[in-house]
Chain A
Amino acid sequence: MNFPIYLPVAGNAVSIPLLLGLGGTVGFLSGLFGVGGGFLLTPLLIMIGIPPTIAAASDSNQIVAASSSGTYAHARAGSVDFKMGLLLLLGGIAGGSVGVYLIKLLRATGNADFVITVTYVLMLGSIGGYMFAESLRSIRLGPPTHREEARPSLYSRVVNSLPWQVEFPRSNVRLSILMPLLLGVLVGTLAAIMGVGGGFIMVPVMVYLLRMPMHVVVGTSLFQILFTCINVTVLQARMNHTVDFVLALILLIGSVIGAQLGAMTSKRLKADQLKILLAVIVLGVTAKMLLGLLVTPEHLLSYRGGH
């Protein structure tokens, strides 16, 4: 192994350049799309021999660095809607508690793993598929016409009829505060069920349901992920002792640099190009998961934990 380092909590040695490369790649995607990248990095860490529970917890720790780096870069560019982010975060915390409770109920009935797996594949597949189709359509036909905007959809009418409408100047939208709160609860619940940060669900929710501009979505999503992952890291370290700081440190050195490069690249790409790229990645992960569900696994026993 080239330049190995021993991970004292994981109890294994890994190659430093490999970890820097993995961190850099996921950090780049994080800065580019506003996703934490946990849904990509955790399985990769498990593949290189990190125990699943430690991979997931240490991944949260490195996402704190990547998202603080990315949030800083986006905040300097004026593309973080702090008001919207805080409301989504509040909803997300409540939703996380709901999700944890649901998982407990499902585990008691013995159906948890099935529900998690199906939810994961359906969410990834439907979000990725919708984003891909919509972005492709948008690239081909251009933005929606004024005629289409003049006839508000049922969704728009329902949203506009909700109470407590407020302005979100950074996102250039007027919405009821119930919208980010309720959607935060929804994403938080799904994220807790699937055991991920939820960035890849939050980004499409902000784009399609909150109608936020893509460049503000990325920064605001990172801002929200930062707090979610701080909470997860401290809880995992305190309750389960599963954060490997050495692993997280090497990953985050790669990821913060990657996040900056991603944020720079993000500014150079058009919104539809960003969306379609994220859709391709999400669909790729879905395909990999589907393959994993259908092909006979190499081992019929596996260590517990992880996504």
Chain B
Amino acid sequence: MGALIKGLLLAMGVTLGSLPQEAPEPVASPVVAMELLVEPLEIQAGMFFDGASFRVSALVPEGLGITVSCVGGKEPVVLNRKGRALGIIWMNLGEVEIDGAPDLYLLHASGDLGEVATSASLTESGVGYAAVEGRATMTGAEGEEDRFFDEFVRLKESDGLFLISEEAMEEVPGPEGLVRVSVEFRLPAKTPPGDYQILVHGFGGEGGVLLGTTTLRVTQVGMAAFIRDLAIEHGLVYGIMAVVVAIAVGLFTGVIFGLGSKKAH
């Protein structure tokens, strides 16, 4: 298996010390055939969903720095931008639109990210916050893009939707020249339903290569899915139902308490 991977790398003209100079999109990078397991591959969000864990394990060449990332969809997001009005009052002063940044970005590295790879190779491979920033466009914060991208990351981190973990991964010796790395991810309850790319990158010398990729799916199921679908597809019926139930519960409680107070007299 190790010889296979090394052979593939050589066949592609890729050596770990001299990777392509172009900055490819992560998924478009050359993918080296390898064993990549995600368990489970689908996460179901029902009424008692409180976030979920999944484990990624991969068979990778020994001696490489490894990053494993989970990357969400890239819908544009509009956020309120706070600033000082009249020099003293903090309030919303405008909007910032960020396009091309994922709604979820969780990254586990096999060590300190600065030691796993150079910043140039991380950016080339689309790994890390700087690479995410490089692929995103921001409007509404002209001249302050870096500052507000940092703020965006801090906001996402506070929701558990962005994370860079540099704790050591579990490593088990594999077949000749290979090692099996595995890492557990924790998706927060705020994770939007959708498809998430799992990307495994290997770094050596000054270059990096995409070793494997697969897709994790998060879906709403059961009553949660029914309520969400009703809310989105039949808003008027849903609104009337919500009001009728609220009035019924309100009046029912009123009657129950009314009976109680009559008995008390």
Contact = CB atoms under 8 A, between A and B. Distances in A.
Report if A and B associate in a common complex. Answer: yes
Given A49-B159, A69-B254, A249-B245, A241 B235 contact: yes
A304 B154 CA distance: 16
Interface string B240-260: 111101110111011101100
Contacts of A252: 246, 249-250
The A contact surface, by secondary structure, is helix
A194 to B, nearest CB: 14
Interface string B129-172: 00000000000000000001001101100110000000000000
B231 A65 contact: no
Given A6-B50, A65-B247, A300-B82, A73 B231 contact: no
Contacts of A257: 253
Interface string B83-115: 101001111110110000000000000000000
A237 B228 contact: no
A9 B228 contact: yes
B144 to A, nearest CB: 10
B258 A237 contact: no
A246 interface: yes
Interface stretch (B11-19, B27-35, B41-49, B201-209): B41-49
Contacts of B241: 245
Given A69-B251, A297-B90, A300-B148, A245 B242 contact: yes
A5 interface: yes
Contacts of A302: 79-80, 82, 92, 155
B185 interface: no
B224 to A, nearest CB: 4
A264 interface: yes
B243 A64 contact: yes
A230 interface: yes
B168 to A, nearest CB: 28
A113 B89 CA distance: 12
Given A117-B89, A302-B80, A304-B95, A13 B50 contact: yes
Contact of A237 (B91, B96, B190, B242): B242
A74 to B, nearest CB: 10
A236 interface: yes
Interface residues of B, number: 62
B51 interface: yes
B232 to A, nearest CB: 5
Interface string B189-217: 11111000000000000000000000000
A259 B79 CA distance: 36
Nearest to B224: A8
A236 B231 CA distance: 10
A195 B83 CA distance: 21
Contacts of B57: none
Contact residue range for chain A? 35 or more
A176 B91 CA distance: 41
Given A245-B238, A292-B90, A61 B246 contact: yes
A300 B151 contact: yes
Task: Give the most central of A253, A257, A304: most B CB within 10 Å.
Answer: A304
Contacts of B81: 300-301
B227 interface: yes
Contact of A234 (B190, B191, B240): B240
Contacts of B79: 301-304
Contacts of B257: 73, 260, 264
Nearest to B45: A6
A65 B252 CA distance: 10
B151 to A, nearest CB: 5
Nearest to A52: B80
Nearest to B261: A264
Contacts of B92: 113, 302
Contacts of B258: 72-73, 76
B189 A6 contact: yes
Given A256-B253, A300-B83, A303-B80, A11 B231 contact: no
Interface of B: 45-51, 78-83, 85, 88-93, 95-96, 148, 151-152, 154-155, 158-159, 189-193, 220, 223-225, 227-228, 231-232, 235-236, 238-243, 245-247, 249-251, 253-255, 257-258, 261
22 contacts: A6-B48, A6-B50, A6-B189, A8-B225, A8-B227, A8-B228, A9-B231, A64-B250, A65-B246, A65-B249, A66-B250, A69-B250, A233-B243, A236-B239, A243-B231, A244-B231, A248-B246, A293-B91, A300-B82, A300-B83, A300-B148, A300-B151
